[in-house]
Structure formats: structure tokens, C-alpha cells
Amino acid sequence: MSQLSTEDLPLLDFIMDANQTADGWQTLLDKFLGHFNLRHINLYMLDSKFNVLFQEWSGEQPTIKALKDYMENIFPDDKVHQTMIMSPECRWVTGNFEPYQSMLNAMPDFHRWTKEHNFPYTTGCVLHRGQSGQVQITFQRGEEHGPFTIEEEDRFTKMSQYLAKAVDLRIKLTGQDKNDLRLKSVLNKFRLPVSAVNEFGAIIAHNNSMLGFLQSQDILKVEDNKLFLNDSERNRQLNHSITKSIANSKDIESMFDADASMVEINNGDDSFVVGACELSQKEDDGENFSGALLYVVSPDLLQAIPESQLKGLFGLTDSEAKVCSLFAQNMSLKEIAAKENKSINTAREQLQNCYGKTNTRNQLELINLLASLPVEA
């Protein structure tokens, strides 16, 4: 490996420690932000269809609306980003260098976007390529930070070789066999079809209900050890739900909408919802294993529970019982708020009260509890 420059040597300890603790990578990215005078840094994995499989970042994040604008209107024509994706590992592509500057100059929508959101200077590279996808890292600066220099790009290249080794180790650690009896026994406590996935979206285990569900229909399938939907837009939503849930399990923010956690399927006789929530387990060595749980809710799995029964069993108020009942029927907080003529914040607060009174932590646990209740006549 190339030797790091003297000024970058202090980062080496943080790179070596990135996989040692649950917040090791976040700490590293936070250090990079100030050290390299960045506005934003993003570490993420894309699959072959450019779905984001995981993401960690530091600094000022573009808004969800801004990111959606970029992905829908700019990314398909962004030849600079495409060059980075196709370049060899650890080969940095810097937008304010030629020939990339000329490419960007020919993209009026890109200049509009960077001016509106103050992200004019970007550099990045691919750190890892594998069967799961490719891991990329990008640095962004605002006008106040100034463009990147050739000397800095040389420093990034030397540093990225160490980063690539750390990313390789992270992927190997995540891919270790966790498909043990303990996790399977946890999944089989759910009446709903449930699968556990790691932070890269790879399947770790199914419960017996999910194995049966996967064989009963051809909309939700397994391909390359990942769950996918046969509709590209819904599959994109599913990947966003997984990424958001994994961010929750690691106690970090995500670029995705917190209310977009369920994907509805209505296809003839097949009608169900695929949801995602966080999975966080204590391992024997004391470390947290973070991932996501994917679950399926269909009309034949859950009978409507009378609100009076919910009030009597759990001490819910009238409003809490209504929110609990509607949420368990796969209505989003936005839909519940609109239906009940209340704010999303009020609906969210009442849902949190339901979790507390039913001793559950998320929608999966709440639905599983309700699915286990005998419905009063």
C-alpha cells in the first residue's frame, strides 16, 4: 500500500478501529468531515440496479426532496458519476478536474441542482466490488469550502486503499454465519411470515411461515440471497424500507422517509403488504448485530380486533384504540391522520402510547400480538 501523508496519519487509527465498535464507522466519517474540510461525506453500497443497500454519512445531508430530484432527473445523465461507478477500485473521480468539469458544464440540470443545494464540488471512488454490489465513498464541498485539488486527490487515493481493506473486513464480518437456531427460534415466535436480513440486505434466516409464503406466490421472491418484488418501483420502495430500518437499528439518520416503511401489493388474488423494521441483537461477545426484519401482512392473517376489546385489554383511550386498529390494518400514519382529521404528530404520539401499553416496540410486534388474540364475539 502507498504510505499515507504525514498530515493524514492520525486517521489511520480510526480506520483500523472502524469495525471494532457499533459506531466505529460513524466516528471515522465524522473525523473525515473536519479533517478534509467537507460539507458532506457519504459511504454507501449500490446493487446492480443502483438500489441503495446500506448507507452511512456525516455532515449536511441534502433533503429527501433534493435527493429525489437528483436521482430522477440528473443521475441518469450524470456521466461523471457513471465514470466513477465504472472506474477501477480506489480510482478517484473529481468533478472540478478535466474532462469531468466539461461533462458537468454540459449538464444544465446538474448546475441548477448544485446551485439550489450548495453541493458544487464532488469527488469519490469505488472501494469494493462483489456479488452483493459495490461500495462507494463520496466527498462533497460547498462554495464556501472551495474545489478539490490534485494534491488532495493524491491523499485520498493513498487513504482509500486502507479504507478498502476496512470495508472488505466489514463485509466479511457481516457475512459471517448468523443463521443459527437462536435467531430461527426468535423468528418462529411470529405468526406472520418474517425474514431477517443483514445490513447489506442479504437473507440470514426465514421463519417457517415465510418459507410457506414464498412458495405460495410469485410476487415476493428470493434472488441472489435477497428478497425482491417483481415490480421495479415497489422493489425500490422495499430497498428504501430496509435501509431505513437498518439505520434505525444502528441509531443513525437515514435519507429515506420514515413513513415509507410498507409496500402494498394488489395483484388479483394476491393482496398483501411487505413491511420492514429494525433488528438489533446482543451477541455473545457483547456487540450489537444490526439488520432488518421483513414481514408480510395479508388479510387472511389478521382479523379486525374490535376497538372496545383493545381498550379493555390494554387500557387504550378511544383515540389510541382507533389508531392501533387502523395501523394494524396496514394504514400509514399519514393515512390515519387524514382519515381521523388529526396531525401526523398526534397520530404518531398516540401510536407510541399504544406500543407502551401493549409492551411492543414496532408495527411487526404489534401486529403479531393482535394476530394472537382471540376475537371477541
pLDDT at 253 exceeding the cut of 70? no
Q: What is the average per-residue pLDDT within 200-210? A: 85
Residues 162, 211 within the same domain: no
Q: What is the average per-residue pLDDT within 20-41? A: 90
Q: What is the average per-residue pLDDT within 47-53? A: 72
Residues 250, 285 within the same domain: yes
Question: What's the domain range around 212?
Answer: 181-301
Report pLDDT for 234.
Answer: 86
Where residue 301 falls among pLDDT bands split at 50, 70, 90? Answer: low
What DSSP element (H or E) covers 14?
A: helix 10-16
Highest mean pLDDT pick, 45-54, 88-97, 204-213, 240-249: 88-97
Choose between 359 and 371: higher pLDDT. 359
Report pLDDT for 177.
Answer: 46
Helix boundaries (H) for the chain: 10-16, 24-35, 64-69, 79-86, 100-105, 108-117, 150-174, 181-187, 208-216, 232-249, 307-314, 318-328, 333-340, 344-358, 363-371
Residue type, 4: L
Q: How far apart are CA 123 and CA 87, in angstroms?
A: 13
pLDDT at 20 exceeding the cut of 90? no
- Axis crossing angle, helix 307-314 with helix 318-328, rounded to the nearest 10: 110
User: What CATH number should be reported for the domain holding residue 228?
Assistant: 3.30.450
What is the average pLDDT value for the chain, to the nearest integer?
83
Could you tell me if residue 169 is inside a domain?
A: yes
DSSP 153-186: HHHHHHHHHHHHHHHHHHHHHHTS----HHHHHH
Residues 94, 240 within the same domain: no
C-alpha cell at 100: 469531468
Which of 106, 140, 174 is where one domain is finished? 174
Q: How far apart are CA 42 and CA 75, in angstroms?
A: 16
DSSP 316-351: --HHHHHHHHHHHTT--HHHHHHHHT--HHHHHHHH
Given the C-alpha cell 477501477, which residue does it identify? 88
DSSP state, 7?
G
Residues 20, 149 within the same domain: yes
Q: What is the average per-residue pLDDT within 47-75? A: 80
Which of 251, 278, 301 is where one domain is finished? 301
Residue type, 300: D
Number of structural domains the chain divides into: 3
Where residue 118 falls among pLDDT bands split at 50, 70, 90? Answer: very high
Residues 215, 340 within the same domain: no
Residues 100, 227 within the same domain: no
Report pLDDT for 258.
Answer: 45
Residues 222, 237 within the same domain: yes
Residues 312, 276 within the same domain: no
Neighbours of 44 (CB within 10 A): 18
Could you tell me if residue 138 is inside a domain?
A: yes
Do 39 and 18 touch, CB atoms closer than 8 A? no
Given the C-alpha cell 394476491, which residue does it identify? 270
Which of 301, 334, 354 is where one domain is finished? 301
pLDDT at 39 exceeding the cut of 50? yes
Share above pLDDT 70 across residues of the chain, in percent, rounded to a whole number:
86
Q: What is the average per-residue pLDDT within 353-375? A: 82
Residues 31, 136 within the same domain: yes
Q: What is the average per-residue pLDDT within 96-102? A: 93
Choose between 134 and 62: higher pLDDT. 134
Residues 356, 281 within the same domain: no
Could you tell me if residue 377 is inside a domain?
A: no
CA 199 to chain centre: 8
Choose between 146 and 306: higher pLDDT. 146
Residues 23, 97 within the same domain: yes
Could you tell me if residue 376 is inside a domain?
A: no
pLDDT at 179 exceeding the cut of 50? no
Choose between 76 and 97: higher pLDDT. 97
How many residues are recorded in the chain? 377
User: What CATH number should be reported for the domain holding residue 102?
Assistant: 3.30.450.80
C-alpha cell at 109: 440540470
Could you tell me if residue 157 is inside a domain?
A: yes
